[in-house]
Structures are given as C-alpha cells and as structure tokens.
Amino acid sequence: MSRPTQKKYCFLLIFLVHFLGTSQINKLDSLKNELKANTSKDTIRAGLLIELASELTYSEPNKGFSLIEEALAISKKNTWIKGEALAQRQKGNLHYVLADNLNAMDAYQKALVLSRKIPDKQLEASVLSNLGNIHADLKEYDQALQNYRAYLETSRTLGNRAEEIKALSNIAIIYNDTENFEEGVSYLNKALTLAKEEGNDLFIAAITNNLALAYKNLGEHQKALFHYQEAMAMAQKIGNKYIEASALNSIGKINLLLKNYAVAETYASNALSLSKEIGAVEWEADSWEVLSKVYEQNGKMPEALNAYKKHIQLRDSVLNEEKKSELTRKEMQFQMERQQAVANEEIKRQQLAKIIYLIGAIFFVLMAMFGYYIYKRRRDALEKKKTAEFNAKVSETELKALRSQMNPHFIFNSLNSISDFISKNDIRQADDYLVKFSKLTRAILENSEKKSITLSEDLELMELYMQIETIRLQNKLHHQITIDQDIEPNNTLVPPLILQPFIENSIWHGIAPKNGDGHIDIKIEKEGDMLKYVVDDNGVGQSKKNVRGKKSNGSFGIKITKSRIDILSHIKNKKGSVNLMDKPEGVRVEITLPLELQF
C-alpha cells in the first residue's frame, strides 16, 4: 500500500489548529457575541469576521464564506488592504478544506498580491505556504518545496518560531513523500528541537509521530517504535486522539512485523476502538488487518477471517473514497493545467500579436520611408529636369536674341563697306560685289534663325564672306581653311557664324590698316569632346590699334559671341572658351566649343 495511505499518518501542521479540541467552542461563542455587539462596518468587525471564519474552518467551512464576503466588502470600503489579504487567505483555506483547490489557489494568489502590496512579509510567507500545500496535493513537489522554503526563510528572519516549525515540518513531509527519508528525518529533528524549546506539546506530538513514520519507512523499527511511544504518550497527555490513534495503530503494525503478536494485538485493539471513536475509517481498516494477521498466527482462523473481512470492507470504502478524491484531484489538476495552457496560449497569442504588430509597424515605417525616398527622388529628378528644361529654354531665348543682334550688326557693317567700295570702284565691280553681298545676306538671314547648322554649311558662309571681303580689299586678303581629318563637316553641328566677328575683326582692324598682303588662316581641330577653332592673322596686332577689342563694332560682335559661347557651355555643361592673344605679327584667336554631332 502506497503513498496516499502513508500520507494519512503524517500531520500537516497547518491543520493542527483543528486538534486544539473542545476549548475552541468557548472561543467560537465569545467571537459570536463580540460580532453581535460590534455591528458598525469597521475594521474591527472585519477582523472578527475573519477570525470567526477561521474558527469555523474545520467544523462548518460552508458557513465561513458569507462571513468572509462581508469582511472583504468592509475591508475594501475602508481600504484596509491587510484585512482584504487576510480575508482572501481565509477564503482560500475554506476552499482548501472543501477540496476545491482551484478556487483555493485563486484566493491565495489574490492574498499573495495583496500581502506584497502592503507589504507584509509574514503574511506573504504564510500564503506561500498555503500555496505550497496545494502544490504538494497536486504532487508538484518542486513548487511546494520552493514555497515552503520561502515560508521558512521569512519566518526565520522575522523570528516567528511557530511558523518556522510549521515550515520545517512541511518541508520534511515533502521529503518523506518523495521517499527522501534521511532529509525528512533531518528536517523533522530540527522542527522537534524547536518545538521542544517552545514547549509546544501538540507540535512535539505531531512531529514525533511524523519522525516515527520516517524511521519506519527507513526500516529502523526500534527507533520508530520509540518515537511512536513518545508521540502516543504526548498525545495522551494533551488529549489528542488523532495522534494517539495513529501512534497506536503504527505501534501495532511494527510489532506485527517484529512478530510480537500479543503486543501487536493489544495495540491494534486499542487503536481500533480509538479510531472508531474519532471515525478514522482507514486506521480502523489497518487495525483490523493487524488483528487478522495476529489471529491467523494464533490459529484463531474464524476470528482471523472475520477481522480480514472487516479490513477488506473498510479498506474498500477507504479506497473508494481515495479513488474518488484521486479522481477529483486528477480532474482538478487537469483543469488547472488546461487553464494554464489556455493562459499560456493566450500569452503566446498576445506575444505573437505584439510581434506581428511590431513587425507590421516596422515594415510600414520602412515602406513609408522607402516610398517617400522614391517619391522624393522622382520629384527631385522631375524638378531637376524641369529646371534644366527651363534653363535651356531661357538660354535658347538668350541665344536667339544674341543671334538676331548679329544681323543688323552685320548688315550695317556691310552697307558701310559697300558704300566705301562703290565710291572707290567701277559700277560693274560694285554690282558684282552687291550680288555676292545679297547672297551672303540671304544665307545669313536664313541660317541665323537656326540653333545650329552643319560645319560645312557654316564654312560655306565663311567662305562667301571672305570672298566678299577679298573683293573689297582688292585681293590684298588671302585665306585658308583647314579642317582636321577626324572631323566630319557634314555631321558636326556648330552655332551659325560664331567665327564671323573674329574674322571681321582681323580684317578690319588687323589686315586693312596693314601695308601689304594679309593672310587669315583658319584651323578647325578636335580636342577630346571639344571643337577648337584657331584663327591666325598676320595683321597689325592688338596693341598698335587700340580700337581693336574696344569700342569698335568688332568688339560688340565679339562680346555677343562670347556670351553665346558661355551660354552654350552652360547648356552642354562643358567649358567653352574664347582666347585672344598677340603674336609677334598679328593676333591669334582660339575658340573652343562643345563638340556636337548630328548623328
């Protein structure tokens, strides 16, 4: 026979209050009287209610609940947290004795939270102990032990001896339940020493009884017998029939094992009558078993059979009870586990939801940032493009304006030149000159409207212009145009007439004032992605004729051309340039432009 039975023989000290016996009845009456006198809803009444419920725990637990509810209500109203905590703990006790572990646990947990809130260490420890009892019932020994240890620690720290003894004793029970009897004995001895110091006979009796049980389990029958005798004597002394019955019964069993049949019979008989008196069916059954075996040994078969029958009968009823309670226990455990599982599931679910929300939020933020980035980049690009387009348009307009300024400039320069020519030459030549001039003018008017023309078209214009100037200077002017081999004149686009003002400048201010023949050499080269014009003249040079590059019309044309090149460079984002430099004889002009191809 196993543990459930064994457990019945050890005494959880939490119940010891029950064994205080008949003196309690007086206390109950006095409490009831006090309650009747104290009807105002104050903390005194709440305290009395809790105390009364506590007194009723083992006799009429069901009556205790209404008292507790009232005590709870009063305590809450008066914000007496300790009262609330005590009431919850008592409620737990009530449920516990009614074997309603689930509600008991619930109440204890509330009490625990409240006790921590106050904070009241001793109360907290005792609640932990209560919870430990439930864990022990559910065979959650580790948890129970942990709770009891906390209980022990607190009780020691606060110097509460009675609580310390209870804690030690309860820990010992756990060890014994887990068949770690040596450890159990050690704790029981500690508890016993303290109980003796305190002179608490009830504790001494109960612990001694438990110690005896532990020795019995260790097989140390003599030690067990000795302690049982002591426990029995102490129980008799304080009139505790439970402990006495338990001890008598155990002594009987041990004597049976030791084959002291006569002694066993005596003790078993005593135990039987006492068990009957207190209604301890299981011990009754045990006593019958001992008696049955003793009769059997003595050859009293009919008595033996009768005793055995009684034993089986009682044992079965006990077993049924046990089975029932085991079933309840299992069910409760299952329910608790299920609740725990549901709670865990809920926690997991909430955690998962939290994580999902968090990930979602992070993702959303990232998406938003990414979206904004894309939007911004697109917007910036669009803006950039728009700005660029606008700038290009502005530049185009400026260029057009500049080009159109070139026309009157050119025409009136030429008209002056024609007038000069006519006054110096014959009509036939003047006519020839004029026809060429009209062709040039037409070409310039047509081409100056265009953004760009091919290099070959531009050079044709330049050629025509030079021819006219050559006529005017009576063949004093010679010119040569050289194009780099890697330039395709038909595929290269240039701004129309960009060279004209420089050539004009060379002719009017370089070669015209010069004695002797003048020469203009135009070279067109490719420099990387730039197009370079080099115009060399062998005229009088800049320094000699201050007009050059100053207030002359030539300088106006040059100024406009420089602006055109600046704007073109800006549009193409490349650095174009115009350089005028003096040579020992004449001037060199270098113009670089972004090279632009048609195809």
* Shortest distance (Å) from residue 510 CB to another protein: 30
Residue 451: CB minimum distance to another protein, A: 12
Distance CA 280, CA 65 (A): 27
The yes or no reply on residue 427 touching another protein (CB under 8 A) is no
* Residue 413 CB, nearest approach to another protein (Å): 20
According to CB under 8 A, which one of 343, 435, 484, 582 is a site residue for another protein? Answer: 435
For the bound state, the minimum distance from the C-beta of residue 564 to another protein, rounded and expressed in Å, comes to 21
Q: Which stretch binds another protein (CB under 8 A): 263-271, 303-311, 374-382, 437-445?
A: 437-445
Any contact of residue 439 with another protein (CB under 8 A)?
yes
Task: Specify whether the CB–CB gap between 511 and 548 falls below 8 A.
Answer: no
Q: Which residue has the tokens 């040579």?
A: 583
Residue 124 CA to residue 6 CA, distance in Å, equals: 30
The DSSP output letter for 510 is I
- Residue with smaller CB distance to another protein, 365 or 435: 435
In the list 323, 324, 377, 442, the residue contacting another protein (rule: CB under 8 A) is: 442
* Minimal distance, residue 421 CB to another protein, in Å: 15
Residue 341 is a binding residue for another protein (CB under 8 A): no
Please give the DSSP secondary-structure letter assigned to residue 507. Answer: I
Q: How far is the CB of 521 from another protein (least distance, A)?
A: 28
- Min. distance of Cβ 480 from another protein in angstroms? 23
Smallest distance from another protein to CB 434, Å:
7
* Options 37-45, 229-237, 435-443, 461-469: segment touching another protein (CB under 8 A): 435-443
Q: Does 597 bind another protein (CB under 8 A)?
A: yes
- State in angstroms the smallest separation of the CB of 440 from another protein: 12
Let me know: does 77 contact 41? Beta carbons within 8 Å. yes
Q: How far apart are the C-alpha atoms of 32 and 298, rounded to whole Å?
A: 56
> Binding of another protein at residue 438 (CB under 8 A)?
yes
Q: Assess 392 for contact with another protein (CB under 8 A).
A: no
Which positions ≥6 away from 374 have C-beta within 8 Å?
none
Q: Rule CB under 8 A: is residue 393 a binding residue for another protein? A: no
Determine which residue in the list 257, 434, 464, 487 makes contact with another protein, applying CB under 8 A: 434
Structure-block tokens of residue 534: 């080099």
One-character DSSP codes across 175-225: HHHTT-HHHHHHHHHHHHHHHHHHT-HHHHHHHHHHHHHHHHHHT-HHHHH
Q: Does 382 bind another protein (CB under 8 A)?
A: no
Cα(442)–Cα(435) distance, integer angstroms: 11
Decide whether 254 or 595 has the Cβ nearer to another protein.
Answer: 595
Collapsing DSSP to helix, strand or coil, 588 comes out as strand
Q: Which is nearer to another protein, 149 or 436 (CB)?
A: 436
Q: Which range binds another protein by CB under 8 A, 103-111, 383-391, 470-478, 591-599?
A: 591-599
- Identify residues 481-510 at the interface with another protein (CB under 8 A): 490-491
Asked if 137 contacts 329 with a C-beta cutoff of 8 angstroms, the reply is yes
Cα(295)–Cα(268) distance, rounded to whole angstroms?
12
Three-state secondary-structure class, residue 25: helix
> What's the start-to-end Cα distance of the chain, in Å?
108
Residue 599 touching another protein (CB under 8 A): yes
Q: Which stretch binds another protein (CB under 8 A): 15-23, 38-46, 439-447, 528-536?
A: 439-447
Under rule CB under 8 A, residue 102 binds another protein: no
For residue 397, state whether it binds another protein (rule: CB under 8 A). Answer: no
DSSP per-residue codes, 391-419: HHHHHHHHHHHHHHHHHHHHHHHHHHHHH
| DSSP code at position 100 | -
Of 356 and 381, the one with the shorter C-beta distance to another protein is: 381
What SS3 string covers 335-346? HHHHHHHHHHHH
**CA distance linking residue 96 with residue 90, whole number of Å:** 9
Tell me the window of 268-276, 280-288, 433-441, 473-481 that interacts with another protein (CB under 8 A): 433-441
Rank residues 199 and 408 by Cβ distance to another protein and give the closer one.
408
Stretch binding another protein (CB under 8 A), from 80-88, 186-194, 208-216, 431-439: 431-439
3-state secondary structure 283-296: HHHHHHHHHHHHHH
C-alpha angle 205-207-210 in degrees, rounded to nearest 5: 110
Using CB atoms within 10 Å of the CB of residue 43, give its burial: 0 to 12 exposed, 13 to 18 middle, 19+ buried: middle
Residue 432 or 527: the one with the smaller Cβ distance to another protein is: 432
Q: Could you tell me the smallest distance in angstroms from the CB atom of residue 491 to another protein?
A: 7
Check residue 404 for interaction with another protein (CB under 8 A): no
Question: Three-class SS of residue 543?
Answer: coil
**Site membership for another protein, residue 598 (CB under 8 A):** yes
* Cα 556 to Cα 542: distance, rounded to the nearest angstrom: 16
Measured from the CB atom, is 1 or 427 closer to another protein?
427
Site residues, another protein (CB under 8 A): 431-432, 434-436, 438-439, 442, 445, 490-491, 597-599
